[in-house]
């Protein structure tokens, strides 16, 4: 587990590569555009790397992320569902 805080896109990508992570979980502060940029950069650097997101997500934001193949967990999501997703994504 790597907690990056308020990291920039390049810092997240670098950490994912340097640490050879199995999964990236992004905390969304309501700015889906930022997540879209991070996802694009991660997919370019590490194709096939599983990514999911949680945080302040509206239904519209969840749909945008789903269209990118990103599982989204808005407020009220169950921790057991998030853990099950992480286990499934890392197989």
Domains and CATH numbers, the chain: 9-90 (3.40.50.280)
Q: Report yes or no: 80 and 73 within 8 Å, Cβ to Cβ.
A: no
Alpha carbons 36 and 39: distance in angstroms, whole number: 5
pLDDT of residue 6: 72
**DSSP summary character for residue 5:** S
Tens digits of residue pLDDT in 23-61: 999 988 878 888 999 999 999 999 999 999 999 999 999
Given a cut of 70, whether residue 1 has pLDDT beyond it is no
DSSP assignments along 53-67, one per residue = EEES--HHHHHHHHH
């Amino acid at each position: 587990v790597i907690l990056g805080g308020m990291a920039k896109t390049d810092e997240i990508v670098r950490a994912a590569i340097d640490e050879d992570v199995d999964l990236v979980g992004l905390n969304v502060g309501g700015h889906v555009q930022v997540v879209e940029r991070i996802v694009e950069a991660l997919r370019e650097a590490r194709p096939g790397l599983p990514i999911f997101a949680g945080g302040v997500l509206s239904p519209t934001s969840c749909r945008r992320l789903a269209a990118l193949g990103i599982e989204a967990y808005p407020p009220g999501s169950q921790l057991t569902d998030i853990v099950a997703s992480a286990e499934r994504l890392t197989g």
